[in-house]
């Protein structure tokens, strides 16, 4: 199973926690982890590699050199890293036709085989949209001229690399960014939504991109069905969206203890 | 390491969750589980035995026959089971000189070797007292004629069985219960505190008998030191005291997701 991650030094620990949870809860899978990065110390790369190898999976590192994205519009707030996910298809080996991108602020708590096997032969991506009404409406308005029906979250993104090689154009993305610089809040997510919304297959957010900030909201909305028991036994991916992260001091949330548990597992033997 | 548990059918699942967490987080130990019970179906006993055996530990079952405790004072609210912990020394084989009693509403999330090795050669028990001021004061007043300095929680109880065989007398316990029937709230815990308080060695409640209802209280009191990070990495035993239990629907608490995680691990392969 192909997994795409991007990395900078600040996210080294969360990345390992995410990978550890992925490995632990998918014991029947063999993972090929493609890691895109630009500025990382050699010992950090070595550390991740050792970590992945020890668990019997394989890490491929993709160093993005400085000359890449040299024509891309950048501002103080948008770094080159925002293009990694969008243009990964340019960097991945030709034998990779499909890959699952995962943000580092994620816990994988159940098997992801069903997610990976979603048929996207006619789509560029599969993603979930976080179905909180207000967020959705705001985002639609913000990117109005682009026909967005649902606003997808790009933190868990199943990618049809074969089709992306045919359809996605670097220039189109750069043009979009130039034109919308002042409107973009979540750069790559906004781009995917504005340009490719129609080519995204939707998957269940509760199963594959569960936002724990809305634990109570989802529980009430589902008349109690989507409770803690449901999430622990059915949700594959918990995605700690938002500014407050469970590896920071004073985080508050229903899944804090679970996150720290996996963090201990991931970091205790390194 | 000797572990004592008592069991009735209602607590079969929590017991397995507790044992699973104990085994997982103490991979270097071999456990001898002594399980006292009176009314259990044969297939339930078989089920626990299979579960313990599969994890390479050993279960000893101690069936408490009906004629036992026949002189004991019982009321509608106090069943014979309340005496199991107090009089376990009468039932345990002679080679058992020390044992750790564990309630079933417990998660063991770190090694317990340091707890087990506490020296109690001059004590009957080692226990923690939950240091919430109000609770302590109330309990002291309630059992006033008996000189109680601290009120211990009996859910995690390290027992000096050798010394108990010498000192603890069935009759003394029965007399106490007869005399104080109307004052007892937590039967066995009250008895241990009233009769044997002076012979209890105190251990750290945060490390070995952590009450998650006081997560915020402990965090504030410790100026932020005893936070989630501390508990996950240092606490050995989380004890879900009180009426609301994490295996019940609509439980709310910081350690709910962690409990359900272990529950899934314990119950998924049986």
Q: Which residues of A touch B (CB under 8 A)?
A: 109, 224, 227-229, 231-233, 249-251, 254-258, 260-261, 263-264
What residue in A sits closest to B247 (Cα-Cα)?
A: A229
Q: Are B247 and B17 in contact (CB under 8 A)?
A: yes
Distance in Å, alpha carbon of B30 to nearest chain A alpha carbon: 21
How are beta strands A98-102 and A153-160 bridged, if at all? antiparallel
DSSP 8-class letter at A105: S
**Across residues B133-148, what is the average pLDDT?**
65
Query: A78 is written with which tokens?
Result: 């948008």
Q: Which of A249, A257, A264 sits opposite B257 (nearest CB)?
A: A257
What's the confidence (pLDDT) of residue A148? 61
SS3 annotation, chain B: CEEEEEECHHHHHHHHHHHHHHHHCCCCCCCEEEEEECCCCHHHHHHHHHHHHHCCCEEEEEECCCCCCCCCCCCCCCCHHHHCCCCHHHCCCCCCCEEEEECCCEEECCCCHHHHCCCCCCCCEEEECCCCHHHHHHHHHHCCCCCCCCCCEEEEEEEEHHHHHHHCCHHHHHHHHHHHCCCCCCHHHHHHHHHHHHHEEECCHHHHCECHHHHHHHHHHCCCCCCHHHHHHHCCEEECCCCCCCCCCCCCCCCHHHHHHHHHHHHCCC
Say which DSSP state A117 is in. T
Residue of B nearest to A261 (CA): B232
Q: Pick A150 or B254 by higher pLDDT.
A: B254
CB atoms A254 and B257 under 8 Å: yes
Q: Enumerate the residues of chain A whose CB falls inside 8 A of the CB of residue B238.
A: none
Do B22 and B3 touch, CB atoms closer than 8 A? yes
> How would residue A141 be classed by pLDDT, with cut points 50, 70 and 90?
low
- Contact B257/A258, CB-based, under 8 Å? yes
Q: Do B232 and A264 touch (CB under 8 A)?
A: yes
Of A5-9, A165-169, B76-80, the one with minimum mean pLDDT is B76-80
**In this complex, do A233 and B264 lie within 8 Å of one another by their Cβ atoms?**
yes
**DSSP-derived secondary structure for A203-229:** --HHHHSB-GGGHHHHHHHTTTSSSHH
Please give the residue that has the higher pLDDT: either A71 or B121.
B121
Asked if A249's CB is within 8 angstroms of B229's CB, the reply is yes
Average confidence (pLDDT) over B25-44: 93
Contacts of A261 in chain B (CB under 8 A): 109, 232, 258, 261
Query: For residue B131, what pLDDT band results from cuts at 50, 70 and 90?
Result: low
Contacts of B38 (CB under 8 A, 6+ apart): B8, B63, B64, B65, B66, B80, B81
The radius of gyration of chain B's CA atoms, rounded to the nearest angstrom, is 18
A170-226 pLDDT tens trace: 888 888 888 887 777 777 888 888 889 899 999 999 999 999 999 999 999 899 999
Confidence at residue A133, expressed as pLDDT on a 0 to 100 scale: 59
Distance of CA B52 to the CA centre of its chain: 19
Region B2-267: CATH code: 3.90.550.10
Query: Could you read off the pLDDT of B188-244 as tens digits, one per residue?
Result: 888 888 889 899 999 999 999 999 999 999 999 899 999 999 999 999 999 999 899
**Among candidates B228, B251, B256 on the partner chain, residue whose Cβ is nearest the Cβ of A260:** B228
DSSP A218-258: HHHHTTTSSSHHHHHHH--EEE--SS--TTSTT--STTHHH
User: If we measure between CA atoms, which residue out of B256, B155, B249, B248 comes closest to residue B210?
Assistant: B155
Could you tell me which chain B residue has the CA closest to the CA of A25?
B265
Mean pLDDT calculated for residue range B20-30: 97
Mutation choice for A interface testing from B228, B246, B262 by most A CBs within 10 A: B228
Question: Is A228's CB within 8 Å of B254's CB?
Answer: no
- The beta strands (E) that lie in A58-131 are given as 58-63, 98-102, 106-108, 125-128
Mind telling me how many Å the CA of B215 is from chain A's nearest CA? 11
Give A232's contacts in chain B (Cβ within 8 Å). Answer: 257, 260-261, 263-264
Question: In chain B, which residues touch A (CB < 8 A)?
Answer: 109, 224, 227-229, 231-233, 249-251, 254-258, 260-261, 263-264
The answer, yes or no, to whether residue B83 has pLDDT greater than 90, is no
- Contact criterion met (CB below 8 Å) for B5 and B34: yes
**Residue found by looking up tokens 């100026």 in the block:** B223
Residue A135: its pLDDT value, please?
63
At A180 the pLDDT is: 81
- pLDDT over threshold 70, residue B84: yes
The C-alpha of B255 sits at a distance from chain A's nearest C-alpha, in angstroms, of 6
Q: Please tell me which of the candidates B231, B254, B260 has its beta carbon nearest to residue A228.
A: B260
* Average pLDDT for chain A: 89
Helix (H) or strand (E) holding A37: strand A32-37
Whole-number pLDDT of residue A177? 83
Tens digits of per-residue pLDDT, B147-164? 666 789 999 999 999 999
- Comparing A40 with B254, the larger pLDDT belongs to B254
CA distances (Å), origin A45, targets A40, A187, B7, B8: 7, 26, 50, 52
Contact partners, residue B84, CB within 8 Å, separation at least 6: B6, B36, B64
* pLDDT band for position B74 (cuts 50, 70, 90): low
How far apart are alpha carbons B152 and B200 in whole angstroms? Answer: 8
Distance CA A157, CA A143 (A): 20
Would you say residue A33 has pLDDT above 90?
yes
Alpha-carbon gap, residue B35 to B203, rounded angstroms: 24
Task: Report ipTM for this prediction.
Answer: 0.85
Cβ-Cβ contacts under 8 Å, B263 against chain A: 232
What are the beta bridge partners of residue A101?
Answer: A4, A157
Summary mean pLDDT of chain B: 89
């Amino acid at each position: 199973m192909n997994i795409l991650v991007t990395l900078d030094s600040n996210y080294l620990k969360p990345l390992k926690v995410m990978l550890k949870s992925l490995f632990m809860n998918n014991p029947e899978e063999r993972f090929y982890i493609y890691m895109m990065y630009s500025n990382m110390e050699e010992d950090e790369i070595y550390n991740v590699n050792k970590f992945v190898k020890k668990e019997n999976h394989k890490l491929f590192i993709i160093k993005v050199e400085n000359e890449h994205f040299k024509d891309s519009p950048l501002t103080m707030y948008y770094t080159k890293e925002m293009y990694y996910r969008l243009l990964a298809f340019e960097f991945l080996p030709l034998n990779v036709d499909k890959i699952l991108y995962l943000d580092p602020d994620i816990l994988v708590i159940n098997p992801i085989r069903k997610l990976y096997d979603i048929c996207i032969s006619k789509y560029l991506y599969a993603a979930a949209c976080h179905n909180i009404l207000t967020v959705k409406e705001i985002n639609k308005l913000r990117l109005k001229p682009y026909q967005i029906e649902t606003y997808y979250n790009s933190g868990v993104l199943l990618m049809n690399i074969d089709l992306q090689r045919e359809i996605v154009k670097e220039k189109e993305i750069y043009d979009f960014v130039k034109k919308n610089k002042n409107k973009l809040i979540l750069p790559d997510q906004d781009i995917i939504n504005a340009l490719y919304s129609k080519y995204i297959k939707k998957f269940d957010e509760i199963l594959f991109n569960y936002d724990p900030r809305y634990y109570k909201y989802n529980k009430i909305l589902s008349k109690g069905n989507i409770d803690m028991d449901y999430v622990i036994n059915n949700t594959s991916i918990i995605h700690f969206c938002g500014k407050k992260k469970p590896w920071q001091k004073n985080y508050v949330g229903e899944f804090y203890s679970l996150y720290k548990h996996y963090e201990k597992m991931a970091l205790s033997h390194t």
